[in-house]
C-alpha cells in the first residue's frame, strides 16, 4: 500500500517535471550535463575495458574447445555489444551518476536550500531538478555508447595482440553481427535508463528526510531501485526488440 502510494507520488513528480520542460533552465542543463559526462566517463571506460578483456579471454577459451576460435568476433558482438557492455556501463552510470545526483539533491533538502528556492519564488523543478533529469537522460546514451566502443576496442586488442586471432577475421565477424536493430535497441535502453537514473536520483533527493542519515539513504535507495527497475526495463525492451514483438 505504501509502496503503491510512493509509485503514484513518483509518477506525479515525473509528470510535473515533463510539464515544466518548456520553462526548464537550459544553461543549467548543459552545465550539469557536461559535469555529469566528465565525472562518469573514466569509471565507465575503465570498467567496460576490463569487461571486454575478460569476455574475450573467456570466449576464446570456450570457442577453442569447440574448435571455432575464429567466431570470437561474433561472440563479442552478440554477448558483449548487445548485453554485457551496456549492462556494465549502466551499472557504472547508476552507481556513480545516480548516487551523486541523489546525494546532491538530498543535501540541498537537508540544508533547506530547496525550501529557500521555493520561498524565493524560484521553482526547483525548473531550475534544479528538470535540468538534472534531462542531463542524465542525454548523457547516458553517450556514456553507454562510449563504454560499448571501449569494451569492443579492448576486446579487439586482447583478441588480436594477445590471443593471436586474425584482426581482419575478428573485426569482420564482429561488425557483421551488429545490426541497425542493435543500435536502435541500445539507444532506446540507454535513454530509458538515463531518464530513470535522473528521475529516481532527483526524486529520492527531493523527498529526503532531515537528519544525518537522509543523504546516504537517498543515494542508497536510488542505486538499489535503479538496479531492480533498470533490469526489469531492460528485460522488457529486450523482449520488445528481439522477442519477435517488433
Partner 1 sequence: MSDPVIELRDVTRRFGALTVLDGVSMSLLRGETTVIVGPSGTGKSTLIKLLVGLLKPDAGTVLVDGQDVGKLGRAELMRLRRKFGMLFQDGALFHGMTVAQNVAFPLRHHLALKREEEERRVEVALQQVGLPGLGRRRPDELSGGQRKRVGLARALVMEPMIVLFDEPTSGLDPVTSAAIDELIVDTRKRLGLTFVVITHDVQSCVHIADRVGMLWEGRLRAWGPLAEVTASTDPVVRQFFDRRSDGPIKVV
Which window, 112-120, 135-143, 182-190, 236-244, contacts partner 1 (CB under 8 A)?
Answer: 112-120
Residue 83 touching partner 1 (CB under 8 A): no
Nearer to partner 1, 118 or 176 (CB): 118
Nearer to partner 1, 111 or 243 (CB): 111
Q: Looking up cell 543515494, which residue turns up?
A: 219
Is residue 159 within 8 A of residue 72, CB to CB? The reply is yes
Residue 211 touching partner 1 (CB under 8 A): no
- By C-alpha distance, which of 24, 156, 148, 10 is closest to 85? 148
Residue 122 touching partner 1 (CB under 8 A): yes
Query: Residue 32 Cβ, how far from partner 1 at the closest point, in Å?
Result: 12
CA dist 182 and 85 (Å) reads 13
Compute φ and ψ for 172, nearest 5 degrees: -65, -45
Q: Which helix (H) or strand (E) covers residue 236, if one does?
A: helix 214-242
Residue 120 touching partner 1 (CB under 8 A): yes
Query: Residue 123 Cβ, how far from partner 1 at the closest point, in Å?
Result: 6
Residue 111 touching partner 1 (CB under 8 A): yes
Single residue of 42, 116, 224, 246 touching partner 1 by CB under 8 A:
116
Residue 121 touching partner 1 (CB under 8 A): yes
CA dist 205 and 218 (Å) reads 6
Residue 118 touching partner 1 (CB under 8 A): yes
CA dist 118 and 111 (Å) reads 13
Is residue 173 within 8 A of residue 71, CB to CB? The reply is yes
Residues forming contacts to partner 1 in the complex (CB under 8 A) are: 111-113, 115-116, 118-123, 127
Amino acid at each position: 500500500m505504501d509502496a503503491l502510494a510512493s509509485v503514484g507520488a513518483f509518477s506525479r513528480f515525473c509528470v510535473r517535471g515533463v510539464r515544466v520542460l518548456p520553462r526548464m533552465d537550459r544553461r543549467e542543463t548543459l552545465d550539469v550535463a557536461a559535469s555529469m559526462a566528465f565525472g562518469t566517463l573514466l569509471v565507465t571506460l575503465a570498467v567496460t575495458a576490463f569487461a571486454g578483456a575478460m569476455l574475450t579471454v573467456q570466449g576464446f577459451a570456450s570457442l577453442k574447445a569447440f574448435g571455432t576460435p575464429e567466431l570470437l568476433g561474433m561472440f563479442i558482438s552478440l554477448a558483449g555489444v548487445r548485453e554485457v557492455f551496456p549492462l556494465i556501463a549502466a551499472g557504472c552510470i547508476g552507481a556513480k551518476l545516480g548516487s551523486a545526483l541523489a546525494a546532491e539533491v538530498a543535501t540541498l533538502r537537508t540544508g533547506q536550500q530547496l525550501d529557500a528556492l521555493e520561498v524565493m519564488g524560484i521553482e526547483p523543478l525548473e531550475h534544479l531538478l528538470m535540468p538534472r533529469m534531462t542531463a542524465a537522460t542525454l548523457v547516458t546514451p553517450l556514456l553507454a555508447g562510449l563504454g560499448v566502443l571501449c569494451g569492443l576496442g579492448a576486446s579487439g586488442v586482447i583478441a588480436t595482440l594477445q590471443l593471436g586471432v586474425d584482426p581482419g577475421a575478428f573485426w569482420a565477424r564482429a561488425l557483421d553481427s551488429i545490426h541497425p536493430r542493435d543500435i536502435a535497441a541500445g539507444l532506446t535502453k540507454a535513454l530509458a535508463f538515463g531518464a530513470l537514473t535522473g528521475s529516481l536520483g532527483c526524486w529520492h533527493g527531493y523527498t529526503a528526510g532531515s537528519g544525518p542519515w537522509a543523504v546516504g539513504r537517498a543515494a542508497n535507495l536510488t542505486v538499489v531501485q535503479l538496479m531492480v527497475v533498470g533490469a526489469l526495463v531492460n528485460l522488457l525492451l529486450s523482449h520488445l526488440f528481439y522477442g519477435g514483438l517488433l
